[in-house]
């Protein structure tokens, strides 16, 4: 997901210019542009939405829009194309859009009954992708998505992710052009990136040609990944105990569901090798397609978050 954050930083640079002095990077956000993200200030959804806005660095504690908490919901993009909106059209009401693009240009749209995220070649030869993120946060629950990956060339990476960017907790399912017959599962705690924990699914029908149903079941006690109704991995919270730090290194923070596509082939050597080398642009277009995504909250419609008791 790190490269998706790089895309966000690049998009922010296009939309705002730093001024002198202050706490949001090199500037202080004023009342007219109150929301801070990565050293830039503005007043639109790309800055003020709770999944990006830095409350502590913004004009005032209430400058960032309030977090909308989990309710059971299904986004079926054929039945309801309005379940997705470009970030520029979003005004903070999750009842108006269940998913939004995280930045502009969004490279995301609803077409032919699918939410489509496209990796687009830039003048420098690198790809600029897309992120579509949920407008409600979830802390424990089940996420089920019907997806066709966009990784028809080495170097292209597609993802289904549950993540808190500010804390760095993440649970993911990722597709790479180097291997179109599996999906990869992983999880992270507080941005401690341990790629050795990755586990692949059993072989699947080509993930770039066939839609599959992918699911992440996240509870205070375990995470289970499954494809087409068949679980292939479970991690128990008890297994994540780290004696050195006296901590369970288990994702617990309230997070957002997102989908992304990005250019792994132009990254560092390790990332590029994992993704399958440089993107072969002659094989474009590269489109991640989502037919539907359902979120079932562990606490049905509860507008509060849950913290496991000490020692749980």
Mind telling me the catalytic residues? 170, 174
**What gap in Å lies between CA 215 and CA 145, rounded to an integer?**
6
3-state SS class at 242? strand
**What gap in Å lies between CA 192 and CA 177, rounded to an integer?**
25
Q: What is the largest CA-CA distance in the chain?
A: 55
Enter the tokens of residue 25.
């990077």
**32 closest CA partner among 58, 66, 65:** 58
**What gap in Å lies between CA 37 and CA 24, rounded to an integer?**
8
Residue for token pair 């597709």: 175
**What gap in Å lies between CA 148 and CA 168, rounded to an integer?**
26
- Residue 262: strand pairing partners: 157
Contact 214, 158 (CB under 8 A): no
Please give the DSSP secondary-structure letter assigned to residue 99: E
Write the CB contacts of 109 (distance below 8 Å, at least 6 apart in sequence). 84, 115, 116
- Secondary structure of 131-196 in HEC code, one letter for each residue: EEEECCEECCEEEEEEEECCCCCCCEEEEEEEEECCCCEEEEEEEECCEEEEEEEEEEECCECCHH
**What gap in Å lies between CA 84 and CA 90, rounded to an integer?**
10
**93 closest CA partner among 131, 132, 61, 49:** 49
């Amino acid at each position: 997901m790190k490269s998706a954050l790089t895309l966000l930083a690049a998009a922010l640079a296009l939309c705002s210019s730093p001024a002198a002095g202050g706490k949001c990077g090199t500037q202080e956000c004023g009342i007219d542009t109150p929301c801070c993200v990565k050293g830039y200030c503005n007043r639109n959804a790309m800055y003020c939405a709770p999944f990006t806005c830095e409350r502590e660095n913004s004009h005032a504690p209430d400058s960032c829009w309030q977090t909308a908490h989990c309710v059971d919901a299904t986004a079926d993009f054929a039945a309801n194309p309005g379940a997705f909106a470009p970030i520029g059209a979003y005004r903070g009401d999750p009842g108006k859009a269940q998913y939004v693009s995280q930045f502009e240009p969004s490279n995301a749209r609803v077409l032919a009954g699918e939410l489509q995220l496209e990796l687009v070649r830039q003048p420098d030869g690198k790809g600029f992708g897309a992120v579509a993120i949920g407008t409600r946060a979830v802390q424990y629950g089940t996420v089920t998505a019907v997806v066709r990956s966009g990784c028809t060339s080495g170097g292209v990476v597609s993802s289904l992710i549950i993540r808190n960017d500010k804390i760095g907790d993440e649970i993911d399912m990722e597709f790479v052009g180097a291997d179109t017959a599996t999906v990869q599962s992983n999880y992270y705690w507080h941005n401690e990136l341990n790629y050795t924990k990755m586990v692949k699914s059993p072989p699947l029908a080509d993930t770039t040609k066939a839609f599959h149903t992918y699911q992440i079941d996240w509870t205070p006690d375990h995470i289970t990944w499954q494809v087409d109704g068949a679980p292939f991995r479970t991690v128990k919270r008890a297994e994540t105990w780290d004696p050195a730090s006296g901590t369970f290194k288990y994702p617990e923070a309230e997070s957002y569901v997102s989908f992304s596509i990005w250019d792994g082939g132009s990254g560092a050597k390790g990332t590029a090798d994992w993704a399958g080398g440089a993107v072969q642009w002659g094989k474009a277009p590269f489109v991640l397609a989502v037919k539907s995504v359902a979120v079932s909250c562990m606490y049905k419609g509860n507008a509060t978050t849950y913290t496991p008791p000490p020692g749980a």
